[in-house]
Amino acid sequence: MRLLHTSDWHLGRSFHRESLHEAQRAFLDHLVAVVQAHGVDAVLVAGDVYDRALPGLDAVALFDEVLHELAELGVPTVFISGNHDSARRLGVGAGLIQRAGIHLRTDPDSCGTPVLLADQHGPVAVYGLPYLEPALVRERFGLARGGHATVLGAAMDQVRADLAARTAGTRAVVLAHAFVTGGAPSDSERDIAVGGVASVPASVFDGVHYAALGHLHGAQTLAPHLRYSGSPLAYSFSEARQRKTMWLVDLAADGEVSAERIDCPVPRPLACLRGRLDELLEDPELTAHEQSWVQVTLTDPGRPSEPMERLRRRFPHTLQLLFEPEEQPAEGPVSYAARVRGRGELEVAESFVRHVRPGIELARGERDWLRTGFETVRMDQHGRAELSG
């Protein structure tokens, strides 16, 4: 069976205020063309269809168009909701849409109920695990406590139990939206947990033949049967070196997996330039980047006058300007953004407590209170998004 694995479309997202609507339309047209050209038997979309819980009308229209095109091709498509999606909104009309071969898996209660497909070698059970926010789904899985690894493990227990009751030789495919240990993140993904407890071990997916993962925006292979497709477009300059692709996966009769990457259209290349302003404006080797989306880090000892205006005369699509002077005072102030860069919410909060209470380390109970507070806020945010859906 030939599967096309994609994820993290983030329909409705912009790139530093530049509209990506036409680029996302071009990608979806490309996806449909790939399905036709490569004889794809099923499409797997591993979450974050939309960029926000309340998507704009243009984003909804794009989604509607691709649903119609895939339905007309008669190619089964399985979607799961991601941490950016409103599960309730994405799942509206799922029962009716399923009649057209479009399967929207947004309900945690359906984790153990697969979409059943078949080829000449027999049945293939496709299990869609929507993004599982621990604070919201623990009780539904009969758990008193636990984080992402615990709830995803409980969902996979349901998958394995259902698979064990099926015909011998049934091949199993899982879609999941999670941060699996060993994956490489980008700047454009939204943190899905407090204090670095988001990651789940790869072993949680033991017992299935292929796990189509979403959430991380760089395509990567954690194991032959465990892959991230990455996002089809770059959504931050940290992705400038990423090759944006989809996985074309062949699932053999015995469940063995082979896969190749299918390139996605690039609306405009990205470039990260660094140096003194005058050097950047005069360097002939930078000609190739004059039509790119550009991030510039200026290293001038002093801030030049009108740097953005001058840069855009040569690089009209300069979108981000940063300053990192080569010569800094020995004990100069460090910005708040620099101090917290790359740190999780819980870590930042703990550092603040240490700052206002010097010499006194946080007790274990205090860390638990902070974690509970963040989880409560996160649960409230998700709850409001679902209620609004």
pTM > 0.95 = no
Terminal alpha carbon distance of the chain = 35
Residue 144 has what DSSP assignment?
A: S
CB 216 within 8 A of CB 238: no
Q: Tokens 């989809």 identify what position?
A: 246
pLDDT at res. 195: 40
Tokens standing for residue 195 = 């204090």
CB 150 within 8 A of CB 143: yes
Q: Which helix (H) or strand (E) holds 249?
A: strand 245-251
pLDDT at res. 121: 95
DSSP 79-96: EE--TTS-HHHHTTTHHH
pLDDT at res. 369: 83
pLDDT at res. 276: 96
pLDDT at res. 196: 44
E-strand spans in 63-149?
77-80, 102-105, 115-119, 122-129
- pLDDT, tens digit only, all 389 positions of the chain: 999 999 999 999 999 999 999 999 999 999 999 999 999 999 999 999 999 999 999 999 999 999 999 999 999 999 999 999 999 999 998 989 999 999 999 999 999 999 999 999 999 999 999 999 998 999 999 998 888 999 999 999 999 999 999 999 999 999 999 999 988 888 887 766 544 457 899 999 999 999 999 999 999 999 999 999 999 999 999 999 999 999 999 999 999 999 999 999 999 999 999 999 999 999 999 999 999 999 999 999 988 999 999 999 999 999 999 999 987 555 555 666 666 666 777 778 877 877 777 556 677 788 778 888 877 777 666 666 565 55
Single out the residue of 233, 235, 224 nearest to residue 260, CA to CA: 224
pLDDT at res. 362: 74
